Amino acid sequence: MSIRTTNGHSHRFDSVLDTIGNTPTIRINRIAPAHVNVFVKTESANPGGSVKDRLALNIIEAAERDGRLRPGQTVVEATSGNTGIGLAMICAAKGYPLVITMADSFSIERRRLMRFFGAKVVLTPKALKGMGMYNKAKELAEANGWFLASQFETTDNADIHEHTTAREILADFQGQRLDYWVTGYGTGGTVSGVGRVLKQTRPETKIILAEPGNAGLIASGQTTPRNDQNQATESHPAFQPHPIQGWTPDFIPYVLQETLDHGYHDALLPVPGPDSIAWSKRLAAEEGIFTGISAGATFAAAMQIAETAPEGANILVMLPDTGERYLSTPLFEDIPEDMDDDEMAISLSTPSAQL
């Protein structure tokens, strides 16, 4: 094998914002069943480390274009973390103050990352679930005249996935089969935006949607009450706390409702929390792909599909973010800080250990 080289093009950009999107699709070589071809779209390659960079950018720039966001106006949003990190990066680059509301149950790394970008993070009690941080953001926007990003309601969310994520997928599989596309949901923007395109241009592709096994909001068949601004007004009765941060708030977002109303998904799979963690670890240890729990959950759903998929099927899996924002979560709880017995034995096996 010859040494790897690059083509010498540095791809200079005018702004960090220009580096969002065009994330790589990577083949899984060791942990997928041999009879299928599994690929992952690694959204951790976005500059803020997650798929939510896409919607955060479009929410801000669409609001700038139509005058909803004024120069210097404070932006406020409720988030489990990734949208907040994306907004913090974008607001820093564009010069907008940002206030994030977030339940105190989400990982400490997330709030620290947002503060590192210059955002203010207001924590709400975990007992109030997602509705608590959601209502706090609305209250702050109304009380202060701030711009509410409205990731759960705005069409700007799914629109960016229609115009970027979906187009990248089509390009990556041009002239080839794409039998299954697998994704989870948080706001629903990814599935609704990509679903619009795949159902029009690749109707043979089966769209697989996944949700936590113990928080089956869609599976319950129960709806979420909303006000005249399409904002959820009640916590969903089927919600239970789950470890898949970024997936499934305690209400069905209006952005996701498009998928449900138009039948964009062909199957819905429940994913147990432990499976999510197990597959995230395997992706890292056996494929060298570093992801978070939500990515592990999506991959777990894909592995369910792969078991019965036909010979030679192509399966594409969305991996929403990186693993570094899960260091204080169960994903890393059994990863030691100090040397284990094997590492100590290695250390003691050479003369310098005697010094």
Query: Annotated active-site positions, please?
Result: 52, 294
Q: What whole-number distance in Å separates Cα of residue 197 and Cα of residue 181?
A: 12
Pick the closest to residue 235 from 132, 140, 115 (CA basis).
132
Structure tokens at 239: 């919600």
Query: How open is the CA angle 203-310-221, to the nearest 5 degrees?
Result: 55
Rg, Å, the chain Cα set: 21
DSSP, res 163: I
Amino acid (one-letter) located at 45? A
If DSSP codes are grouped into helix, strand and coil, which group holds residue 278? helix
Contact 101, 130 (CB under 8 A): no
Q: What whole-number distance in Å separates Cα of residue 30 and Cα of residue 45?
A: 21
Structure tokens at 343: 């590492």
Sign of CA dihedral 42, 210, 316, 174: negative
Beginning with the edge strand found earlier in the chain, give each strand of the sheet holding 267-271 in spatial order.
25-27, 37-42, 314-319, 180-183, 206-212, 267-271
Element (H, E) at 42: strand 37-42
Pick the closest to residue 159 from 56, 232, 66 (CA basis).
56
Contact 320, 295 (CB under 8 A): yes
CA atoms within 13 A on the CB side of 35: 8
First to last CA, the chain: 41
Contact 69, 36 (CB under 8 A): no
Q: What whole-number distance in Å separates Cα of residue 189 and Cα of residue 45?
A: 18
Q: What whole-number distance in Å separates Cα of residue 324 and Cα of residue 340?
A: 22
